[in-house]
Structure 1
């Protein structure tokens, strides 16, 4: 079973990270996050931090967080 987390910014999906060997792979769900598409992050918090930084530049989102998907 895969381990996946939804990365959100201001209540909207920025993308999903999926656990794989070496960390978590990011898959963007909004165009402004495509710059980190397929990037491997060591921790989910690192992916959320990267999404938050991109969101700050976009001003459409103000805060990033993550939620586990599934059980």
Structure 2
């Protein structure tokens, strides 16, 4: 059975992931900033959320200058 999980970043519905028969999660973009992940497979919904969140709201490197 397939299941879907909404990926929301700072109140923006970025897309959703749908779990397939093999347990992988395929991403379907809803926000322009997430289009580069369209169709990509992730091991978990959390992995997808992390990847999309970094693309939408990148944080500066924590390494020293």
Give TM-score scaled by structure 2 length: 0.80
Query: What are the ranges of 5 or more consecutive residues in structure 2 without an aligned counterpart?
Result: 59-65
Query: Which consecutive aligned stretches of 4+ in structure 1 deviate over 3 angstroms post-superposition?
Result: none
Aligned length: 57
Aligned to 2:35: 34
| Structure index of larger Rg | 2
Relative contact order, CA 8 A, sep 6+: which one is greater? Answer: 1
> Greater strand share, 1 or 2?
1
The root-mean-square deviation of aligned C-alpha atoms, in Å, is 1.2
| SS across alignment from 1:4 | strand
